[in-house]
Structure 1
Amino acid sequence: MKIKHIIIGFLALALGGCTEFLDRPPLTSLTDETAWENEENVRMYANKYYPDFFIGYGTGFSYGGAALMGFTFSDDAVLLGRQSNFTRAVPNSGIWSYSSIRSINIMIDRVENGMADKLEEEAYLHWLGIGRFFRGFRYSQLVFAYGDVPYYDKEVSDTDLDALYKPRTPRNEVMNAVYDDFKFALENVRLNDGDQSVNRYVVAGIVSRLALQEGTWQKYYYKNDEQAKKFFELAVEAGNMVISSGRYDIETDYRSLFTSNDLKGNKDVLLYRHYDAAVGIKHAISTNANLSESLIFGPSTDLIKSYICQDGKVWQNSGEEDADNFEIENLMKTRDSRFEASYHIKPHPRNRGSLLYITKFLPREIEASVAAGNTPPPDFLGANNVTDYPVLRYAEVLINWVEAKAELATLGGAAVSQGDLDKSINKIRKRPLAAQAVERGVKETAPLKIGALPQDPERDPQVSALLWEIRRERRMEFAFEASRIADLERWHKLDYMDTDAHMDLLSGAWVNFPEQLSSELNSANIGKISVVGLDGSITVYNGSNKDEMKGFYRHTTNEGRLPYLNQANINPYLAPVGRNQIDEYAAKGYELKQTEGWPQN
């Protein structure tokens, strides 16, 4: 099915294509006149939104916002060379896309005004709920990126210039409409609509994410506690809906969630993206973790230091033996189990950013085989990967839920209890361990105790000890899987990415070059590689100091990002629109205001 929508001027041509996703059959050809006759036609129309909203591992070499490759711009990653910069000037061209909003509004209109007598009431309300869920989802994305954006709740005619060039709608007005869409979807989308279809629990899981995001944006960026409370309460309500259903659990070891060829029936997962070579739906994410491909990014020292120790304390005051020994193999014995499940056991020269491969997305048996000197099998070369991706995990719902509760407590709500922590963070920490992890000395991390929170000397003093630990848990759980940068934005903490203030962003894994990578201590690397000690001292390899080359690896070409905070006419939190689009509005007799914090011209 291809349905073309055209909006003149700045709005893009929208093509609703036939994208295979989530085991769905190919879409048949329909027109606007024939599409709205029965429920199956509506279902086929709605199917096209899945790959837009649930990217997973992407397809082929198209990564977009896919796991691993899509999440290298944050304090979690260090890049070889200059670190990626925030936008520092208004671009010539660039603006939001409304193609999906137009398409979704058409769906809502056709169901609402043309199918009431063709569908049973339950089906009618379900498909209205699906449409409104996707509309709220897309508007949330637009608002998180741009702040105020034009709001449309109906199809706009190509000739209605006043509507096409309408002013930006205030953010709160847009998000209040999103709130209403989400509430409707939570009440009317089916509890079960078949395998791999959006149901009410999937809606609730996504709403727990998006409502939490809006609540924190309102609290920390806009300083609007009333709006913040409204969305935190929605996040808790949505989380409660999933938790109380009893349908989901934490029962799978961490890495297996990302390396399975079939996640069907897995209770850790509310929705997953299935890949199948037989129908040509494959990806390349596992290839980028296969120990054979060269990468220029890896985990930063800042991320590595953030992992909690197995006794539930930070490394500076942990009782674990050698907690201050940052050699990778030792970290796997002393840190939370997610560290061992996420990274290769030894430094590797093909990861030139950090010297530490992220193997979270590579099956353990493939990792072991390649580490032993074998070539990766065909399924783990090129864009031939067929491992499934858990698009929405129960663990995320639990962490969203407890974070929203903790935020509500700061706004007059009930305090987070030990029972809340046991139901969420501590439940996640009790997930099964892989046999290989146990053999390496990995143990279950001690529970988080409300009366004995870790005493972290690196804690941001503006953040309570409880919220700090909830945020740490989120960072460990979703490293290179979900967008850390989105978390920093909604917490109003992009200063964590300031490389002048945080030098651990420019280095990677701890390496004992003489013992682990002695071949790298050659004439070609003189002046190019260096190590950083725990005290921050930097030792550059000069050809005669081999024995001193022990510390966090840092390539000497690594440079910090350019200033982006407290700069005139720069707002790193919200995206500017292009000059060309502002001029286009003006040429039509309308005004497009620039995003807050950016110059109009």
Structure 2
Amino acid sequence: MKKIFYLLSILALCSSCELNEFPESSALEEDVFGTEGGLRRYSISFYNDLPSSSDAYRLDQMSDYGAVNNLDNFLKLNAYTAQTSSGWDWKNLRNINHFLASNNRSNVSETSRNHYNGVARFFRAYFYYKMVTRFGDVPWVDKALSITDNDILYGDRGDRTVVMDHILADLDYAYANIQTSSSTDGSEITKWTALGLKTRIALFEASFRKYHTELGLASTANKYYKQVVDAAQELMTKGPHSIYTAKGPELSQRQLFVSDAAVTQEVMLAIAFNKNLAILSSANWYWTSPTYGPRYSFVRPFINTILNRDGTPYTNRTGYNTQEFYDECQNRDYRLSQLIRTPGYKIDGKPAAPNFNGYSYTGYQPIKYTLDESKYDNGQLNTNAIPLMRYAEVLLNYAEARAELGEITDGDWQKTIGALRSRAGITGGTSQLPTVIDTYIKEKFFKDIDNPVLLEIRRERQVELALEGFRFNDLKRWNAGHIMASLEWSGIYIPELDKPMDLDRDGTVDVIFYDGNNKGPSVTVGAKVAKIAIGGPATNYQTLTADKHLEWFKAQTRTWYDDGRQYYYPIPSNAIVLNKNLKNYPFWQ
């Protein structure tokens, strides 16, 4: 089922409904709830809560490992308040609960009614997961409200334990009752998608409780880790999905993101596009334009965590910190060359080095969602399906939960982290649990973690799932949000200024960096060569670190408050005006 970007006309009347609005009864409602076709048509409206075609490929645009051209206000000092907050929107929940309350006609079989109730409850769980990760405590509402339900309409913000337990119950119901076990194009919810979402949500809650000790819920974390393990094991042993390897280590992972048809062997949920129906995305435009997107560029500390192909840390290489771009890309985990432009990457069949002439700030230019032809670069033209859930994530969720419970074995490692690394061409460390801490990833990212297994799982997660929308929530649940402000936005090594650089060594000069206090390079280069000023009065955003690496945006401070307020968003002030019983956490008041 293609994702629908509009509501059916019968439901459009409810598109702006709030919690206390109820659609008028009509003969049309009997047509909807009195036939299986009507239930199916109604259920299409739930899919509008998934990421849209215009944002599914940009879900990690605010993360620690991506340098951008403009900071989100959330990371600026005193720039984000309850007056500017958003997201306290309950329309989608109202739509779901109305369906669940109305789906009771006996002329539709109980199996069919339960199936569509399962789909509805999947989306209710998904809706509430987004609300909890954004706001923390929120009220649980499981019925279509009327204007007399004042105790709920004007209630307080609720209890996260109540909400989380209801979420998992909804997903258990969805798994037990959804009849769909496969989706031809990956865009339809299946029983296995429900299990996959359960592993995601239970892992978030387990680790949030463990690492946010201020909640006083750490003793209950294992309950949720066990839910991750149970759901993942069920999916891994009974489900139809597996790791896709058909394109070999050099291409298999990226194929999941550039294929027109979702690779449903691994992709469990996707947004499918259709050229004939003019349902397209602007992924290339976003990731290649100097003006349309944020010019998102990976930063060197993250790139440094991508392993050598033999399974050893890249930072164990002698002189790694002074390797030029070509050399640092050699003999690395093949996901590096499937994530950014590396030597050998081509567009229109021609070598294409990182584009400093209008895009990259650091030299690490993403390609995960882009097609390798320039004809896609200037508009909403992309046809490639965008994965929203992959079997790889389930393996990572399982491995992390088992490790947090202290139960992970060599066998677990081999079929999860080892399998993903093997798919990427890594030859070492895929069959046994690690026993040695990588001091680089510990010091740069996770100073409080002393368990080598957990450190490697976190490494694997940030590499495998880069740009897929998990990073900010991962840092929040690990109580590691400070990395959003502290990780340096550095890039490739620049041995000297005024030196023409052939980044991919294809025989063509790509860029020259020069002192921004001068009018231009002192060395003559071709007109098409990018000329990048370093420092100087007009270029204070592009500088060099003390050890001669590009650095971006050092002049603008990223802020992570010590009081921890950014682990939640404030409830918008206009909602609090309407309901005096709603209270923001003290740090947002």
For the residue of structure 1 that corresponds to 2:67, the secondary structure is strand
Per-residue deviation at 1:432? 6.4
**C-alpha distance in structure 1 between counterparts of 2:134 and 2:46, whole Å:** 20
Counterpart check, 1:35 vs 2:32:
yes
Q: TM-score, normalised by structure 2?
A: 0.81
Give the aligned partner of residue 129 of structure 1.
Answer: 118
Gaps of 5+ in 1: 16-28, 367-375, 410-414, 434-442, 539-550
Give the aligned partner of residue 481 of structure 2.
Answer: 494
Give the aligned partner of residue 490 of structure 2.
Answer: 507
**1:210 aligned partner, one-letter code:** I
Note the 1:86-235 alignment, pairs <5 A: 86=75, 88=78, 89-92=80-83, 94=86, 96-111=88-103, 114-115=104-105, 117-192=106-181, 195=184, 196-221=187-212, 222-235=215-228
**C-alpha distance in structure 2 between counterparts of 1:39 and 1:325, whole Å:** 64
Note the 1:537-548 alignment, pairs <5 A: 537=546
**C-alpha distance in structure 2 between counterparts of 1:162 and 1:108, whole Å:** 21
For the residue of structure 1 that corresponds to 2:269, the secondary structure is strand
Distance 1:508 1:13, change over 3 A: farther
**C-alpha distance in structure 2 between counterparts of 1:323 and 1:445, whole Å:** 20
Distance 1:311 1:38, change over 3 A: same
Q: TM-score, normalised by structure 1?
A: 0.79
The one-character-per-residue Cα deviations of 1:130-181 (angstroms, maximum 9, x if unpaired) are 2222111111111111111121110001353333222221111111211221
Give the aligned partner of residue 25 of structure 1.
Answer: none
Note the 1:64-463 alignment, pairs <5 A: 66-67=56-57, 69-80=58-69, 85-86=74-75, 88=78, 89-92=80-83, 94=86, 96-111=88-103, 114-115=104-105, 117-192=106-181, 195=184, 196-221=187-212, 222-245=215-238, 247-252=240-245, 253-263=252-262, 266-290=264-288, 296-318=295-317, 323-345=320-342, 346-349=353-356, 350-363=358-371, 365-366=372-373, 376-377=374-375, 379-409=376-406, 415-431=407-423, 444=427, 446-447=429-430, 449-459=432-442, 460-463=446-449
**C-alpha distance in structure 1 between counterparts of 2:277 and 2:326, whole Å:** 40
For the residue of structure 2 that corresponds to 1:258, the secondary structure is helix
For the residue of structure 1 that corresponds to 2:551, the secondary structure is strand
**2:471 aligned partner, one-letter code:** R
**Is the 1:12–1:98 Cα contact (8 Å) retained in structure 2?**
no
**Is the 2:210–2:221 Cα contact (8 Å) retained in structure 1?**
yes
The one-character-per-residue Cα deviations of 1:103-155 (angstroms, maximum 9, x if unpaired) are 111111112xx23x223332232222222221111111111111111211100
**C-alpha distance in structure 1 between counterparts of 2:454 and 2:513, whole Å:** 42
Distance 1:312 1:148, change over 3 A: same
**C-alpha distance in structure 1 between counterparts of 2:73 and 2:549, whole Å:** 20
Per-residue deviation at 1:579? 2.9
Give the aligned partner of residue 565 of structure 1.
Answer: 561
Distance 1:497 1:95, change over 3 A: closer
For the residue of structure 2 that corresponds to 1:119, the secondary structure is coil
Give the aligned partner of residue 372 of structure 1.
Answer: none
**2:430 aligned partner, one-letter code:** P
The one-character-per-residue Cα deviations of 1:465-519 (angstroms, maximum 9, x if unpaired) are 21111011000011112231110001111111223xx4x2x32333456232554
Distance 1:194 1:39, change over 3 A: farther
The one-character-per-residue Cα deviations of 1:33-53 (angstroms, maximum 9, x if unpaired) are 321012221111111222422
**Is the 1:75–1:302 Cα contact (8 Å) retained in structure 2?**
no
Distance 1:302 1:190, change over 3 A: same
**1:515 aligned partner, one-letter code:** P
Counterpart check, 1:44 vs 2:41:
yes
Distance 1:13 1:380, change over 3 A: farther
Residues matched between the structures, number: 520
**C-alpha distance in structure 2 between counterparts of 1:304 and 1:432, whole Å:** 15
**Is the 1:79–1:558 Cα contact (8 Å) retained in structure 2?**
no
Note the 1:12-27 alignment, pairs <5 A: none
**C-alpha distance in structure 2 between counterparts of 1:509 and 1:45, whole Å:** 51
Per-residue deviation at 1:326? 4.0
Note the 1:511-550 alignment, pairs <5 A: 511=494, 514-516=499-501, 517-521=510-514, 523-524=519-520, 525=533, 527=536, 528=539, 532=544, 537=546
**C-alpha distance in structure 2 between counterparts of 1:565 and 1:274, whole Å:** 39
**C-alpha distance in structure 1 between counterparts of 2:513 and 2:258, whole Å:** 31
For the residue of structure 2 that corresponds to 1:5, the secondary structure is coil
Give the aligned partner of residue 437 of structure 1.
Answer: none
**1:109 aligned partner, one-letter code:** A
**1:452 aligned partner, one-letter code:** T
For the residue of structure 1 that corresponds to 2:128, the secondary structure is helix
Give the aligned partner of residue 18 of structure 1.
Answer: none
Distance 1:236 1:380, change over 3 A: same
Give the aligned partner of residue 524 of structure 2.
Answer: none
**Residue number among 457, 463, 480 corresponding to 1:470 in the alignment:** 457
- What is the identity percentage for the equivalent residue pairs of Structure 1 and Structure 2? 24
Counterpart check, 1:585 vs 2:568:
no
Distance 1:400 1:585, change over 3 A: same
**2:195 aligned partner, one-letter code:** A
Per-residue deviation at 1:11? 5.9
Distance 1:509 1:73, change over 3 A: farther
**C-alpha distance in structure 2 between counterparts of 1:210 and 1:167, whole Å:** 23
The range that moved more, 471-480 or 227-236, is 227-236
The one-character-per-residue Cα deviations of 1:275-308 (angstroms, maximum 9, x if unpaired) are 1121111001122334887753310122112212
Output the aligned Cα RMSD. Answer: 2.9
